[in-house]
Structure 1
């Protein structure tokens, strides 16, 4: 069995034969978590369609140096572009939902504020959450072999996001009270704006207004799903039907 090469993210322009001194965080990860040694191979990505195969050339107490040996084109992005509008839920649920949506291939995530969302409306709360969400995104891409990051937008209100108009694509809101299923969707879709609520779901007034913005209300099945379960189930179902889960 071919040994899996470990991956790290470096936020720099990279080129062949370049020698890189790893950051403090990457040094700790490579040395203490992965327990790698000199001459071990390492895969580096930097938010491009390339991966850079590298080798550890020096390990000291607090520093690690690697050299870039070669680069390879690797594109595993889904042909289905999903823009996920995700109402902000409690901390761990939100982190989990972002992590899994990145692993499942979404292209863009916009955190949303709704009637039942969990958010202290303070600028520092936005800032702290955004930093955490960025780290989760990087970690998820590192784990699942994605080389290009999905974009995580600044939080906005649910209706300001819903009312934005696009010339193409399909808009879907998952609503457990709907009578419609995914069978009503077109046979071929390349772009989807997907809206998923938090633990309390949407108020009836919100759902009515969301539908007025031409979102198709779809139910995933007969059971009421937790928000983090709905994220996984919805994206998986869409990737099977329109994306690259085949």
Structure 2
């Protein structure tokens, strides 16, 4: 089995010993029941990975860092998932699995038919929660770079912005072209997924007017928590590293 991985946003310098932050020490010793001498991996979310050994000193836990390297497990395909807000458990699922599938960022947007309404402090708290979900997904999946979870935006504001997208794709279950019929992507690809009730006619028209390309994932209508993940997986097969 591979060694457990822990996100450590503090600076990881050269080989040597360092005391572990309380969050990591608690998770390793209390949750995973690791002990003195067990192996672990620390990563800083920016590409650095350190192999280490857990060391117990009285009431504190330390990591004896043995080697450090820049290790990339990022996809060659740059996909930003633009996900309309869904119920809390569904959004957690989407963030977790999208990170595992290799997205470079997640942009939550408010849509007319979103069952969840988030703004102000509530939105900020949910974004912080989703960022921790992304960190946990990186710990599990082996990614050393934590994808950005961006602040919640209105769909209209997102469409009016000038994102770094080379192409924006919007899911239209009953229209659009199949992914396999698109040209090979170049640069960041933004993929827009509607809420539980789908896009309104006005939102679909606004997406088209903003230059989004309508795509379909076949004749079946997928749930919002399925559609984006299926699209990312298909794009990885067609143009990425699957």
Name the TM-score, length of structure 1 as normaliser. Answer: 0.92
Runs (5+) with no aligned partner, structure 2 = none
2:140 counterpart (143, 156, 159): 143
1:86 alignment partner, one of 67, 74, 83: 83
Name the CA shift for 1:205/1:188 in 2 (closer, same or farther; >3 Å): closer
Alpha carbons of structure 1 residues 65 and 168: separation in structure 2 relative to 1, 3 Å: closer
- Note if 1:219 corresponds to 2:232: no
CA distance in 1, matches of 2:19, 2:204: 51
Q: Is 1:241 aligned with 2:199?
A: no
Q: 1:110 to 1:167 in 2, by over 3 A?
A: closer
Q: CA deviation at 1:65?
A: 1.2
Residue number in structure 2 paired with 1:9: 7
Distance in 1 of aligned mates of 2:63 and 2:55: 5
Question: 1:75 is paired with a residue of what secondary structure?
Answer: coil
Cα displacement (A) at 1:242: 1.3
Bigger mean CA offset, 28-37 vs 134-143: 28-37
The answer to whether the 8 Å contact 2:164/2:188 transfers is no
How far off is 1:212 after superposition?
Answer: 0.9
TM-superposed CA distance for 1:60, in Å, is 4.9
Q: C-alpha deviations, 1:8-40, integer Å up to 9, x for none?
A: 011101112342222232122101222111111
Q: In the TM superposition, what whole-angstrom CA distance separates every residue of 1:33-65 from its partner, at most 9, and x where no partner exists? A: 22111111110000122210111121655x311
TM superposition score normalised by structure 2: 0.94
Q: Answer yes or no: is the 8 Å Cα contact 2:81–2:103 preserved in 1.
A: yes
Moved segments of 4+, more than 4 Å: none
CA separation of 1:121/1:50 partners in 2, compared to 1, >3 Å: closer, same or farther?
A: closer
Residues 168 and 140 from structure 1, CA distance in 2 versus in 1: closer, same or farther, beyond 3 angstroms?
A: closer
Q: Are the structure 2 counterparts of residues 182 and 121 from structure 1 closer, same or farther at C-alpha, using a change threshold of 3 Å?
A: closer
Give the match for residue 42 of structure 1. Answer: 40
SS, match of residue 149 in structure 1:
coil
CA contact (8 A) 2:7 2:135 kept: yes
Deviation at 1:171, TM superposition (A): 1.2
**Count of equivalent residues:** 242
Query: What SS does the corresponding residue of 1:244 show, helix, strand or coil?
Result: coil
Q: Distance in 2 between matches of 1:190 and 1:167?
A: 8
CA distance in 1, matches of 2:41, 2:164: 39
Residue in 2 that maps onto 1:26: 24
